[in-house]
Amino acid sequence: MSSVPENHTPKLMPWWWELLPVALVLLSVGYTWMVYPDLPERVPTHYGASGMPDAWGGKGAVLVLPFLQTGIYALDAGLYLWMARVKDPRRLIAHSANWTEKQKAAFTTKDLESLRAFLVRSLWLLNLVLMLMFTHLNVGDLQTALGLRHGLGLVIWVYFAAIMGICFWMTVKILSFRPGKPDVK
C-alpha cells in the first residue's frame, strides 16, 4: 500500500491557479450573453489565415465558441485534477506504450510523483493558453460581428505557436522520462 496521501492537488498546484481559466470561460460566456441581443442576424462564422472573416452565418453561430470553450475547459481540467487526485500514481503509466514493463516496474514513487507534478502543471498551462485563445477568438468574433473591428488579426498565430510549443515540450519531456531520472520539470 502506498504511503502517499490521496489528495495531491494542493501540493501540485494551489487552488487559486484554477481561478484564471475559470474567469476566462466566464468572461467569454458573459460577454456573449451581454452582446447577443445587439448582434446582427448575419455574423462571421469562419476566419482565414489573415484573421479576416471569410464565411458568414446566422446569429446563433456565436454560441458555438463559448460552449466549445466550456467543454474543452471541463475536459482538460477534469483530466489534470484526476491526475492530481489519483491514489496510486502507477495508474498514470499503466497503459502507456512509452515504457517497457521492466521500466514501469523500475519507477519509484518519487519518479512517478515527479511525472504527476509535471503532467498536472503542464496540462494546466495548456488549458490556460487554450482558454486565452478561446476568449480572444470569441470576443474578437463578437466585436467583428458588431462592426467594432475588422477581424481577429494575426495574433491567433501566437496562440497556435504557444499551443504547439507546449505540446512539443510536454512530448519531449514525457518521452525522455526514465526510471531513476525523475526530473521532468
Task: Locate the DSSP E strands across the chain.
Answer: 42-47, 53-58
Q: Are 122 and 169 a contacting pair, CB within 8 Å?
A: yes
Asked whether the CA dihedral 160, 73, 16, 62 is positive or negative, the reply is positive
> Which DSSP symbol is given to 106?
H
At 5, is the pLDDT very low, low, confident or very high (cuts 50, 70, 90)? very low
pLDDT of 11-48, one tens digit each?
Answer: 788 888 999 999 999 999 999 999 999 999 999 999 99
Q: Are 134 and 29 a contacting pair, CB within 8 Å?
A: no
Question: Which three cell numbers mark 97?
Answer: 506504450
Radius of gyration of the chain (CA): 20
Q: What end-to-end distance do the CA atoms of the chain give, in Å?
A: 27
Length of the chain: 185
Percent of the chain residues topping a pLDDT of 70: 92
- Which pLDDT value is given to residue 50? 92
Other C-beta atoms lying within 10 Å of the C-beta of residue 35: 16
- Which pLDDT value is given to residue 94? 85
pLDDT of 38-84, one tens digit each?
Answer: 999 999 999 999 999 999 999 999 999 999 999 999 999 999 999 98
Q: Which residues contact 141 (CB under 8 A, 6 or more apart)?
A: 43, 44, 47, 62, 65, 152
3-class SS shares of the chain: helix, strand, coil, % to 5: 65, 10, 25
